[in-house]
Amino acid sequence: MNFTFTKNARITFAVLMLIGVIAGVYGFMTDDTAHHNRFWANLLINGFFYFAISLGALFFLALQYATEASYMVVLKRVMEGISQYIYVGGAVLILVFLAGTLHWHHIYHWMDPEVYDPTSEHYDKIIAGKAAYLNQPFFWIRTIVYLGVWMFFARLFRKRSLLEDQQGGTKIHFKNMGMAAIFLVFFAVTSSTASWDWIMSIDTHWFSTLFGWYVFSGMWVSFMIVLVLLTIWLKGKGHLPQVNQSHIHDAGKWMFAISFLWTYLWFSQFMLIWYSNIPEEVTYYITRIEEFKWLFFGVFFTNFLFPMVILMSRDAKRQIGYLITVGVIIFIGHWLDVYLMIVPGSVGHLHFGFMEIGMFLGFLGLFLYTVFNAFSKAPLVVENHPFLEESEHLHI
């Protein structure tokens, strides 16, 4: 059945975007931090958070192709729809980086050429030592390569999926399998390096080897939440007749499991640094604990305990009420997690007000508008996939 992007939904998302624009403009005007860092940090948080959801969708889609998994074939179009936000999200990120290069903001401290200049009073020996990697031309080359290749794959998978609806057969299926394997290898490296370039370099002196995994697990779980919530909503509207309780149960399991992956990595990073207590490493946590104590530990416990306690039993993962409650809570929790990755290094203090909430809602509107637009372009359930029949009969 075809999905129509109703007028009411359009208006709702447009209102959300309007709130975002008002919050952004108002925030930019009243922002008293240096170089409007607070505004740009918010743009980066939302730009990255929603971009990461679509990137998570692309990753999960590639994982399904590469492993020839059948169980989520009926949800394939939902994942594809989410992955189509990657172009808009990438554009927002480019805007933030461009503003950094033009010195409109100082989120990326290392973008200032003076820190590399031994004669300058701003000379920073530690950052200068990283110049081989952290320099603007190389940063831009990397960013363009990541975004370009990811977008190429998002486009490729979408195009092939629509083509498969017309052609049928297994030719496209096997082609996708090979391409997905190539994508996963590329993604394994670039998801890590992208998180260093875009987020870890905010705290330029600091480094952590498992930071890439930590960011990756956050993006994956955020995507699983969005998938579960959108599937429940679409099914409630009668658009996904083939989706049964087992599919929702499986997606709920992923949400549960990846919450643990995220907790595991968050804690591993924290505990190793806490235990070794080396000055160059603990700075990251000292800022967070001194300025953001309750938020910092609160986010950890929320994102860990809610899925753990509520979603542990089989029955809970089959009750949409539980899934929606937990999903909404940890969706906000993971947004706050991204907030805590970016704000301490760029703004330094806890600023939380209309701008943060408004821009979160604004980008939510933009995200949903783009995704729903993609939903309305093609049938919501694939018509020809070798595993469609098997997926329809999923029973666990």
Partner 1 sequence: MANDKVLYATFDDDTILLNDAKSLVSKGVYIRDVFSPFPIHGIDPVIGIKQTRLAICAFIYGLIGLTLALAGMYYFMIVDWPMNIGGKPNDFFYQNIPAFVPITFEFTVLLAAHGMALTFFIRNWTLPGIKARNPYPYTTDDKFVMEIHPADSQMSEEEVKELLDQTGTIKVEAR
> By CB under 8 A, which span of 24-32, 185-193, 272-280, 333-341 interacts with partner 1?
272-280
Residue 92 CA to residue 207 CA, distance in Å, equals 25
Nearer to partner 1 by C-beta: 125 or 395? Answer: 395
Nearer to partner 1 by C-beta: 93 or 394? Answer: 394
Residue 17 CA to residue 233 CA, distance in Å, equals 21
Nearer to partner 1 by C-beta: 144 or 312? Answer: 312
Binding mask 145-184 for partner 1 (x = CB under 8 A): ----------------------------------------
Nearer to partner 1 by C-beta: 8 or 277? Answer: 277
Nearer to partner 1 by C-beta: 106 or 318? Answer: 318
Contact with partner 1 (CB under 8 A) among 8, 275, 279, 294: 275
* Position 262 contacts partner 1 (CB under 8 A): no
The nearest distance, CB 244 to partner 1, in angstroms, is 12
Contact with partner 1 (CB under 8 A) among 123, 267, 301, 354: 267
> By CB under 8 A, which span of 185-193, 250-258, 268-276, 380-388 interacts with partner 1?
268-276
Nearer to partner 1 by C-beta: 121 or 315? Answer: 315
Q: How many residues bind partner 1 (CB under 8 A)?
A: 11
3-state SS record for the chain: CCCCCCHHHHHHHHHHHHHHHHHHHHHHHHCCCHHHHHHHHHHHHHHHHHHHHHHHHHHHHHHHHHCCCCCCHHHHHHHHHHHCCHHHHHHHHHHHHHHHHCCCCCCCHHHCHHHHCCCCCCCCHHHHHCCCCCCHHHHHHHHHHHHHHHHHHHHHHHHHHHHHHHHCCCHHHHHHHHHHHHHHHHHHHHHHHHHHHHCHHHCCCCCCCCHHHHHHHHHHHHHHHHHHHHHHHHHHCCCCCCCCHHHHHHHHHHHHHHHHHHHHHHHHHHHHHHHHCCHHHHHHHHHHHHHHHHHHHHHHHHHHHHHHHHCCCHHHHCCHHHHHHHHHHHHHHHHHHHHHHHHHHHCCCCCCCHHHHHHHHHHHHHHHHHHHHHHCCCCCCCCCCCCHHHHHCCCC
Binding mask 313-332 for partner 1 (x = CB under 8 A): xx------------------
- Judged by CB under 8 A, the chain residues 295 through 314 that form the site for partner 1 are 312-314
> By CB under 8 A, which span of 17-25, 48-56, 74-82, 270-278 interacts with partner 1?
270-278
Contact with partner 1 (CB under 8 A) among 152, 233, 274, 352: 274
Nearer to partner 1 by C-beta: 308 or 324? Answer: 308
Contact with partner 1 (CB under 8 A) among 271, 286, 328, 357: 271
Look up residue 48 and give its two tokens: 């990255």
* Position 189 contacts partner 1 (CB under 8 A): no
Contact with partner 1 (CB under 8 A) among 119, 238, 277, 321: 277
Nearer to partner 1 by C-beta: 305 or 328? Answer: 305
Contact present, 226 and 53 (Cβ < 8 Å): yes
> By CB under 8 A, which span of 82-90, 158-166, 205-213, 264-272 interacts with partner 1?
264-272
* Position 270 contacts partner 1 (CB under 8 A): yes
Burial class (CB in 10 A: 0-12, 13-18, 19+), 384: middle
Residues making contact with partner 1 (CB under 8 A): 267, 270-271, 274-277, 312-314, 395
